[in-house]
């Protein structure tokens, strides 16, 4: 197999590992300023519901997702409960969970303590996001720049710079690049994927509505 196929996974591992080692290392004796915010980019592992607000097949705003989340709500997280980034912001004492940037209920002042720009089904390769109709990394970064402008208009440039300088940035992506791009390179798989994609696009409105548990079980 081409060695380039390993780059997304290796890059994800390194990006995730190094900041965590810095946070956990007991040899780092120099005092550091308190963590002010957390900003996340990537795929479903850190998407708390941005895909609820774009036209895509990858949505989890219906049961059984969220059954272990507070109030047992399906928020768009591809999990039965909280994501790793939710636990991080909570452990940092910033806020209970990390919201999705595209959620219209997110207030401008919440941007100061962090949001997620991640999109389930996305990847480091733009082709991955194109296949899944999700936000590629460039689009996620543009949303971050938009958020920075909103923060500057709210608290000024100096305070915004301070908040961002002392923030933690989490990037979790690469798995979809392997499963989508590598798998689709196999003979016949690409055509089958296009057929499935067309079918589920036709069903997108049905998939995006909130199911009861009984309704979801009836779909299986």
pTM (predicted TM-score)? 0.72
C-alpha to C-alpha distance for 81 and 30, rounded to whole angstroms: 35
Lowest mean pLDDT segment, chosen from 69-83, 88-102, 171-185:
171-185
Q: How many CB atoms lie within 10 A of CB 53?
A: 15
Question: pLDDT tens digit string along 133-167?
Answer: 999 999 999 999 999 999 999 999 999 999 999 99
C-alpha to C-alpha distance for 113 and 93, rounded to whole angstroms: 10
Contacts of 114 (CB under 8 A, 6+ apart): 37, 38, 39, 40, 89, 94, 95, 98, 167
Omega prior to 64 cis, within 30 of 0: yes
C-alpha to C-alpha distance for 99 and 106, rounded to whole angstroms: 7
């Amino acid at each position: 197999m081409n060695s380039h196929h390993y780059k997304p996974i290796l890059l994800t591992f390194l990006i995730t590992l190094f900041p965590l080692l810095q946070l956990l290392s007991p040899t780092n004796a120099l005092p550091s300023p308190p963590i002010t915010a957390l900003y996340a980019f990537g795929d479903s592992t850190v998407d708390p519901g941005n895909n609820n607000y774009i036209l895509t097949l990858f949505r989890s705003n219906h049961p059984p997702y969220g059954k272990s989340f507070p109030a047992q709500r399906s928020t768009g997280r591809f999990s039965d409960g909280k994501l790793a980034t939710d636990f991080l912001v909570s452990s940092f004492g910033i806020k209970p969970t990390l919201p999705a940037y595209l959620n219209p209920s997110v207030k401008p002042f919440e941007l100061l303590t962090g949001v997620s720009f991640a999109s389930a089904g996305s990847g480091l390769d733009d082709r991955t996001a194109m296949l899944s109709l999700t936000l590629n990394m460039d689009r996620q970064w543009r949303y971050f720049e938009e958020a920075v402008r909103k923060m500057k208009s709210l608290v000024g440039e100096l305070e915004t710079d301070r908040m961002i300088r002392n923030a933690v940035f989490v990037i979790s992506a690469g798995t979809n690049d392997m499963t989508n791009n590598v798998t689709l390179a196999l003979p016949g798989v690409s055509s089958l994927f296009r057929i499935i994609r067309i079918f589920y696009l036709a069903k997108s409105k049905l998939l995006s509505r909130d199911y009861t548990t009984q309704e979801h079980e009836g779909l299986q």
